[in-house]
Protein backbone atom coordinates (compact mmCIF):
# COMPACT_ATOMS: atom_id res chain seq x y z
CA UNK A 1 0.00 0.00 0.00
CA UNK A 2 1.26 3.47 -0.84
CA UNK A 3 2.22 5.90 1.88
CA UNK A 4 2.34 9.66 1.82
CA UNK A 5 4.58 11.75 4.02
CA UNK A 6 4.23 15.11 5.67
CA UNK A 7 7.66 16.40 6.53
CA UNK A 8 9.44 19.40 7.99
CA UNK A 9 12.86 20.43 6.71
CA UNK A 10 15.13 23.07 8.20
CA UNK A 11 18.54 24.72 7.84
CA UNK A 12 21.26 26.03 10.18
CA UNK A 13 19.14 29.10 10.97
CA UNK A 14 16.17 26.84 11.82
CA UNK A 15 14.04 28.19 8.99
CA UNK A 16 11.17 25.72 8.61
CA UNK A 17 9.62 24.26 5.47
CA UNK A 18 6.65 21.87 5.54
CA UNK A 19 5.83 19.67 2.58
CA UNK A 20 4.09 16.51 1.44
CA UNK A 21 5.38 13.75 -0.81
CA UNK A 22 4.88 10.14 -1.81
CA UNK A 23 8.63 9.48 -1.96
CA UNK A 24 10.34 10.90 1.11
CA UNK A 25 13.84 9.69 0.24
CA UNK A 26 13.70 11.24 -3.23
CA UNK A 27 12.24 14.49 -1.94
CA UNK A 28 14.85 14.87 0.80
CA UNK A 29 17.55 14.22 -1.80
CA UNK A 30 16.09 16.97 -3.99
CA UNK A 31 16.09 19.41 -1.06
CA UNK A 32 19.64 18.53 -0.06
CA UNK A 33 20.95 19.07 -3.57
CA UNK A 34 18.91 22.19 -4.41
CA UNK A 35 17.31 20.46 -7.38
CA UNK A 36 14.02 22.31 -7.12
CA UNK A 37 14.24 26.08 -7.56
CA UNK A 38 12.45 28.18 -4.99
CA UNK A 39 12.28 28.67 -1.25
CA UNK A 40 14.15 25.54 -0.16
CA UNK A 41 17.07 26.00 -2.52
CA UNK A 42 17.27 29.73 -1.86
CA UNK A 43 17.41 29.23 1.92
CA UNK A 44 19.40 25.98 1.77
CA UNK A 45 16.74 23.93 3.53
CA UNK A 46 18.61 20.63 3.71
CA UNK A 47 17.92 18.91 7.05
CA UNK A 48 14.99 16.59 7.71
CA UNK A 49 13.69 17.51 11.17
CA UNK A 50 10.34 15.68 11.26
CA UNK A 51 8.08 13.42 9.23
CA UNK A 52 4.95 11.37 9.61
CA UNK A 53 3.23 8.91 7.27
CA UNK A 54 -0.34 8.22 6.24
CA UNK A 55 -1.82 5.90 3.60
CA UNK A 56 -4.23 8.62 2.44
CA UNK A 57 -3.12 11.52 0.23
CA UNK A 58 -6.04 13.70 1.31
CA UNK A 59 -5.10 13.19 4.96
CA UNK A 60 -1.48 14.05 4.16
CA UNK A 61 -2.44 17.26 2.37
CA UNK A 62 -4.83 18.22 5.19
CA UNK A 63 -2.10 17.61 7.78
CA UNK A 64 0.41 19.64 5.75
CA UNK A 65 -2.03 22.57 5.62
CA UNK A 66 -2.73 22.19 9.34
CA UNK A 67 0.97 22.34 10.24
CA UNK A 68 1.59 25.24 7.86
CA UNK A 69 -1.18 27.14 9.65
CA UNK A 70 0.42 26.77 13.06
CA UNK A 71 2.54 29.41 14.70
CA UNK A 72 6.26 28.73 14.76
CA UNK A 73 6.31 27.71 18.44
CA UNK A 74 3.80 24.94 17.83
CA UNK A 75 5.81 23.62 14.85
CA UNK A 76 8.94 23.59 17.00
CA UNK A 77 7.07 21.72 19.73
CA UNK A 78 5.94 19.10 17.20
CA UNK A 79 9.50 18.59 15.98
CA UNK A 80 10.92 18.40 19.49
CA UNK A 81 8.45 15.69 20.56
CA UNK A 82 10.28 13.22 18.29
CA UNK A 83 13.56 14.99 17.56
CA UNK A 84 14.58 17.05 20.62
CA UNK A 85 18.18 17.44 19.43
CA UNK A 86 17.18 18.60 15.95
CA UNK A 87 19.23 15.87 14.30
CA UNK A 88 19.04 15.55 10.53
CA UNK A 89 16.88 12.43 10.37
CA UNK A 90 18.09 11.73 6.85
CA UNK A 91 21.73 11.47 7.94
CA UNK A 92 21.75 9.74 11.29
CA UNK A 93 20.67 6.38 9.92
CA UNK A 94 17.04 6.95 10.89
CA UNK A 95 15.91 6.47 7.29
CA UNK A 96 18.67 4.04 6.32
CA UNK A 97 17.30 0.62 5.60
CA UNK A 98 13.71 1.67 6.19
CA UNK A 99 11.19 0.61 3.62
CA UNK A 100 9.14 3.76 3.32
CA UNK A 101 6.76 2.19 0.80
CA UNK A 102 5.09 -0.14 3.30
**Fold assignment, 4-82:** GIY-YIG endonuclease (3.40.1440)
Instruction: Give me the pLDDT at residue 48, please.
Output: 97
Domain ranges of the chain: 4-82
Q: How many CB atoms lie within 10 A of CB 96?
A: 9
Q: What is the mean pLDDT of each run of 10 residues along the chain (102 residues)?
A: 94 96 95 92 95 97 98 98 95 57 42
Q: How far apart are CA 30 and CA 84, in angstroms?
A: 25
Amino acid sequence: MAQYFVYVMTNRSLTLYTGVTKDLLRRVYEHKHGLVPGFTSRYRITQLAYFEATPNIRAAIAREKQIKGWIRARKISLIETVNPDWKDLSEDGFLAGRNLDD
